Amino acid sequence: MYVRGVAKTKFGILNESVPELAYEAMTKAVHDAGLPIEDIQVIYVANFAGGPLQNQLQLNSVIASLLPGINIPIIRVETACASAGAATFQALHMLKSFNNIMVVGVEKMTNLNIYDTTKGISSAGDLILDQKEGLSFPASYALVAQQHMLQYGTSEEDLALISLKDHQNANMNPLAHFYEKQVTMEMIKHSPVVCSPLKLFDCSPVSDGAAALILSRKRDSDRDIEVVGSALATDTISFCQRKNLTSFQAAKVAAREAYSQAGITGKQVDFAEVHDCFTIAEIVAMEDLGFCEQGQGKKMIRDGETRLGGRLPIGTDGGLKANGHPIGATGASQIYEIVTQLRGEAGKRQVKDARYGLSHNIGGVGGTCAVHILKR
């Protein structure tokens, strides 16, 4: 199975509507794949907040309205921030019955007041155990950070290094939310506290955007990138149902299965896009994915291993932290970056001689995880 075409819109605060963003990504993806839209047999639409934020559900039919006369199966997938990763997982399994499938992830989040946006995003947490107790996602990840610091000696300086690295990468990515926005270490360290120890620049922005993938059963050209591992795992939704706050079991299970399919280990991955919605999430991901031992993510950060030119670059597009996080589009955007890198088309942020790239897409605070491994 192969990724034949990829596309994404600019991420950021945009004027376009959900249908306009989706249409842009879709048309660019079929053009990149060299396929007429009539050759697409199924479409998966990944979207999280269309209902609470845009009063627009049944996005499958909205997408159909953009393709008059094409009455193929179109299915909306929602698993919070892992929606596009889950949609890709399902689409790859459906390639056993079809030849070409599109995944389009889209989200519009910036046209509301912050209260309504925060309430909508919080719906990815348990209603009774989390939402009604006032546990927001910044607070949840602050608890993760506090525990990681207590158990392993991770510091605020380590988190700041992650943020700085992501912003430096985003400045080489014209489609990133923070492209051409200079963010310095001093700005990061002195930014307002959101939920201790997390500061403003430890948190991903609220973004609009869309990304699309064309998945094909057979290879058509040298630009097609093979998917050698695809796994999805789910865990309990609330922290009070977890034994460990510094590791996400769903990520470990999904990674183990994806590595088994690919016939590799985490040590053989050349670069990765991880779900760094908060800086601490990047360290947790590095450890869950087997890039290092539990508690040793901080050492990789301090040694510069995750920077461009390091042993294992992470978030080459800027990550969720600086590329942006339009929730339903994020998982597809990660795969867009993996494909772009493996094709050798990433420009200034190109990883040299990369063979294996990995995407790690989390829904909620570790409730769902999709891991995909692609090979050049």
Q: Pairing relation of β-strands 368-375 and 225-234?
A: antiparallel
Both tokens of residue 177?
A: 């939310």
Strands (E), the chain: 2-8, 42-46, 74-77, 100-107, 193-195, 198-199, 209-216, 225-234, 271-273, 356-363, 368-375
Euclidean distance between CA atoms 374 and 376, whole angstroms = 7
Cα 105 from chain centroid?
11
Catalytically annotated residue among 81, 203, 277, 292: 81
191, 135, 120: which is closest to 159 by C-alpha?
191
Euclidean distance between CA atoms 103 and 120, whole angstroms = 23
Q: Is 262 helix (H, G, I), strand (E, B) or coil?
A: helix
Both tokens of residue 295?
A: 């508690």
Strands (E), 1-55: 2-8, 42-46
Is 360 among the catalytic positions?
no
313, 81, 323, 65: which is closest to 205 by C-alpha?
323
Both tokens of residue 114?
A: 């912050």
Between the CA of residue 326 and those of 121, 219, 233, 337, what are the distances in Å? 11, 30, 22, 15
26, 371, 71, 48: which is closest to 228 by C-alpha?
371
Euclidean distance between CA atoms 244 and 333, whole angstroms = 29
Is 81 among the catalytic positions?
yes
Both tokens of residue 162?
A: 């992650």
Between the CA of residue 77 and those of 43, 58, 84, 104, what are the distances in Å? 10, 10, 8, 10
DSSP state of 81: B
Catalytically annotated residue among 167, 177, 275, 325: 325
- Residues labelled catalytic: 81, 325
